[in-house]
Amino acid sequence: MKIGVPKETAAGEHRVALVPETVRSLSKTEGVELVVEAGAGGEAGHPDSQYSEAGAAVGSAADVAAADVIVRVDLPNSGEIAGMRSGQTLISHLSPWTSAETNAALAQAGVTAFAMEAIPRTTRAQAMDALSSQATAAGYAATLIAARESGRFWGMLTTAAGTIRPAKVMVLGAGVAGLQAVATAKRIGAIVTGFDIRRAAWEQIASLGGRPLELDFIPDAEGEGGYARPLTDEENEQVRDALAENAARQDVIITTAAIPGRPAPILITEAAVANMEPGSVIVDLAAETGGNCELTEAGQTVERDGVKIIGPRNLASELPGHASQLYAKNVENLLGLMITDEGKFELDFEDDIIDAACVAHEGEIRGERTAR
């Protein structure tokens, strides 16, 4: 059984699906061979020589495309899917709930496709949860970008030339990425406020040294599977008003609020930005799904009244070394459910993780949500 690792082709993608450490452990299983495309790990700090030393063959894109199982980070483009053969297995981010064409093309090609986004958020699946590992990298990267762009110290300093007051940072949305932003901003020395519409997140913000903004006129919005439910228009209005008041006191706002499968909620309006001090910075992690700030443009930095609104895309890729390391471990753990001790590839659809993560098999699109 051969596992192939291509060099990623999406613009701005610096990660790689397997790092040498995971290649080394996977190649220990009898019957498992690995082939890595030349240069695949270069941007994540892993030259080809490290893959060879770890037990993989280094080959061409065609060598990788011929493997039984292909593991990648970003969804393949239509040309890459057209080059796949029936019966091949693909493990990758696939945007299964927003990229219907990809689902259809994979099913039509007869590929068995596993979407890393569809791994269930259960305790047993935690070691395979790429949404969490990559959100951790994104939250960290967003905070460092905000720190750099703010042009100021974040911690308090007492110097002969005067005292610097600590930066005030507000984090909106306290899921995996938001909590990492709270923790990182706190470590750099800022005074951190965090907000989420799930009450359970308030305690988590406080446990990281942040001050939870307790807007308790909104009932707890925890919905299915621990995710937030969408707010009503009236609730959204109330939240935006309260945040506008708080936004005016912040030097930096990092936004991460998301509702799975929906456009990002608008939390910071144009009017709220107008009330912020010139020199303030907003980093909007939700840029790719429409943004939490009304002025965000994905992939751009917008300047309005001296406030910078940064809408980065694919932030996890900004930390290619560690984001790849964590992603590779997620993939290795998933492969562990598919490869027997004798090196045979076997899919057990009775396993809830295999069942949930598989979005195409034997010509059919799988899963109610994916089909929808």
Hey, which residues are catalytic here? Answer: 121, 126, 129, 132, 227
Q: What is the DSSP letter of 317?
A: G
251 binds ligand NAD (CB under 6 A): no
| Nearest-angstrom CA–CA distance, 239 and 245 | 10
296 binds ligand NAD (CB under 6 A): no
Q: Which two tokens stand for residue 212?
A: 């939870």
CB nearer to ligand NAD: pick between 239 and 315: 239
231 binds ligand NAD (CB under 6 A): yes
Question: Residue number with the shortest CB distance to ligand NAD?
Answer: 175
CB nearer to ligand NAD: pick between 117 and 332: 117
Type and span of the H or E element at 137: helix 130-150
315 binds ligand NAD (CB under 6 A): no
Least spacing, CB of residue 230 vs ligand NAD, in Å: 7
CB nearer to ligand NAD: pick between 39 and 226: 226
Q: What are phi and psi of 224, to 5 degrees?
A: -60, 135
132 binds ligand NAD (CB under 6 A): yes
129 binds ligand NAD (CB under 6 A): yes
Residue in 173, 210, 212, 291 binding ligand NAD, rule: CB under 6 A: 173
Half-sphere exposure of 335 (CA within 13 A, CB side): 31
40 binds ligand NAD (CB under 6 A): no
Least spacing, CB of residue 362 vs ligand NAD, in Å: 29
Show the binding pattern over residues 198-227: x = contacts ligand NAD (CB under 6 A), - = does not.
Answer: x--x------------------------xx
Stretch that binds ligand NAD, among 48-56, 93-101, 118-126, 305-313 (CB under 6 A): 118-126
Calculate the dihedral angle through the C-alpha atoms of 197, 298, 92, 50, rounding to the nearest 10 degrees: -110
257 binds ligand NAD (CB under 6 A): yes
Least spacing, CB of residue 302 vs ligand NAD, in Å: 21
259 binds ligand NAD (CB under 6 A): yes
CB nearer to ligand NAD: pick between 59 and 173: 173
Within 8 A by CB and 6+ apart from 319, the residues are 137, 140, 141
Residue in 37, 196, 318, 332 binding ligand NAD, rule: CB under 6 A: 196
Of the candidates 334, 269, 278, the residue with the CA atom closest to the CA atom of residue 305: 278
Question: Do 112 and 71 meet the contact criterion of CB atoms below 8 Å apart?
Answer: no
Stretch that binds ligand NAD, among 18-26, 176-184, 208-216, 360-368 (CB under 6 A): 176-184
103 binds ligand NAD (CB under 6 A): no
Number of residues that bind ligand NAD (CB under 6 A): 32
Strand arrangement, sheet containing 307-310: 211-212, 191-195, 168-172, 252-255, 281-284, 307-310, 301-304
Q: What are phi and psi of 312, to 5 degrees?
A: -65, 150
Type and span of the H or E element at 102: helix 100-108
Q: What is the DSSP letter of 304?
A: E
Question: Do 199 and 220 meet the contact criterion of CB atoms below 8 Å apart?
Answer: yes
CA 361-368-75 angle, 5° bins: 55
Question: Do 150 and 252 meet the contact criterion of CB atoms below 8 Å apart?
Answer: yes
Least spacing, CB of residue 251 vs ligand NAD, in Å: 20
CB nearer to ligand NAD: pick between 44 and 170: 170
Of the candidates 345, 364, 367, the residue with the CA atom closest to the CA atom of residue 356: 367
Residues within the interface to ligand NAD (CB under 6 A): 121-123, 126, 129, 131-132, 135, 172-178, 195-198, 201, 226-228, 231, 239, 256-260, 265, 267
